[in-house]
């Protein structure tokens, strides 16, 4: 999706259609895994309020490339 999208909404929808993101900004889920039996966080599906492991609340943020096209990424807040 590096070419970007015409609108921020399109960029977000494309992210959701792609199944979300494996990593997001502020993702520290796997830092707090002390138990080896615990599954690592699989990221964020782009729809739920929280990431896969439930540690962080995540939402879409969008930015614009120099060419004016939009991109979307996940950010914990
Ligand atoms: Zn997580």
The string of pLDDT tens digits covering residues 27-41 is: 999 886 666 666 789
67 CA to middle of ligand 1, Å? Answer: 33
pLDDT at 1 over 50: no
pLDDT of residue 35: 65
Length of the chain: 77
In 3D, which of 30, 25, 26, 55 has the Cα closest to residue 40? Answer: 30
**CA 33 – CA 3 distance, rounded (Å):** 36
Distances (CA, A) of 30 to 38, 66, 73: 10, 33, 19
36 CA to middle of ligand 1, Å? Answer: 15
**CA 59 – CA 46 distance, rounded (Å):** 7
pTM of the prediction? 0.84
**CA 29 – CA 39 distance, rounded (Å):** 10
Neighbours of ion ligand 1 (CB under 5 A): 29, 41, 51, 53, 55
């Amino acid at each position: 999706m590096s070419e970007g999208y015409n609108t921020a909404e399109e960029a977000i929808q494309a992210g959701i259609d792609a199944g979300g993101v494996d990593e997001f900004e502020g993702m520290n889920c796997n830092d707090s895994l002390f138990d080896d039996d615990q599954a690592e966080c699989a990221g964020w599906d782009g729809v739920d309020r929280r990431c896969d492991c439930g540690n962080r609340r995540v939402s879409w943020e969008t930015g614009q490339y120099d060419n004016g096209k939009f991109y979307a990424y996940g950010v914990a807040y």
